[in-house]
Amino acid sequence: MADKTTAPAAPAAPAAPAAVATSPYQVNDWVPVAKYLLAHGYSQQATAGILGNMYQESTISPEAGGPGNAGLIQWTPGSKAWPNQPILTGNARKDLAAQLPDVLAWNKATTDVAHLNQITDPAAAALYYMNTAERPNPAYANAPTREAAATALFNAIVANNWSTSGSPGGPGPGGGPGGGSPSTGISLDAVWYEPWTWGSSVAAAVEGLGGVLVGLAITIPIVAAGAALIVLGLYKGSGAQKAVQDTMSSLPPVVPA
């Protein structure tokens, strides 16, 4: 929970752990967030560390929370998010587009991003980000979940061969420009909601089916090659994302902060 540093004098008993979310946010929203951070100069490890914290805070959902705490990193209160407001409108795509530049600004104000980018272990990056940018109440930090999620998502980033581009930036104080790529330097249309890789797999399968039809018109070997393309198309891209789903579903339950 971003900037929640003071433990209550008499903290209430922790709520019963919630089941790990199965909404599309858990599986899909990490993709545009990861690509956005990488495009703004964050290393693979730093990106995964931030995502691991977002997983604990909001299950990587821009719609999480309410007036008291809100958004991807659970700004407390939500009005602390800057420069874009409002950040909760009920439109997930619009809210994600608003919150991502706010995350850059928050990171610039709270975290030594250069140091974060030098950390080579995603779990260690998650702990550093937790202690600098999130600053949760220690009683509810649930650091092991942040570390486990960061490691799982780092492995997915590497498996998908997504790399850093640009340089860390974001809005500067007083509305001035930050260093590096501008916060509008990447289109969310280019990264939004990659649905489980089956879309690309089906497209590849259609290409394979075309090979089958050509093969039928020519020779049996080409038919066999076209059939092989169907199998390859259905398999294509599914492995890395499936591994993420399996790993994320095995993570410890998120304990509400």
| Confidence at 164, pLDDT banded by 50, 70, 90 | confident
pLDDT of residue 121: 98
Radius of gyration from C-alpha coordinates of the chain? 21
Is 1 part of a structural domain of the chain? no
Is 237 part of a structural domain of the chain? no
178 touches 169 (CB < 8 A): yes
Q: What single-letter DSSP state applies at residue 171?
A: P
84 touches 8 (CB < 8 A): no
Calpha distance 171→106 (Å, rounded)? 9
59 touches 22 (CB < 8 A): no
Please tell me the pTM assigned to this model. 0.63
Is 181 part of a structural domain of the chain? yes
| Confidence at 224, pLDDT banded by 50, 70, 90 | low
Is 49 part of a structural domain of the chain? yes
Is 12 part of a structural domain of the chain? no
In the chain, the number of structural domains is 1
Closest by CA to 158, choosing from 216, 77, 244, 234, is 244
Is 2 part of a structural domain of the chain? no
pLDDT of residue 65: 87
Six-digit token pair at 128?
Answer: 């550093």
Is 245 part of a structural domain of the chain? no
Is 169 part of a structural domain of the chain? yes
pLDDT of residue 2: 72
Calpha distance 181→187 (Å, rounded)? 13
Residue at token pair 């169907």: 230
CATH number where 70 lies: 1.10.530.10
Calpha distance 129→207 (Å, rounded)? 44
First to last CA, the chain: 7
Tell me: the pLDDT tens digits for 49-107? 999 999 999 999 999 986 689 999 999 999 999 999 999 999 999 999 999 999 999 99
C-alpha angle 58-168-77 in degrees, rounded to nearest 5? 35
Domain with 168, as residue range(s), is 24-194
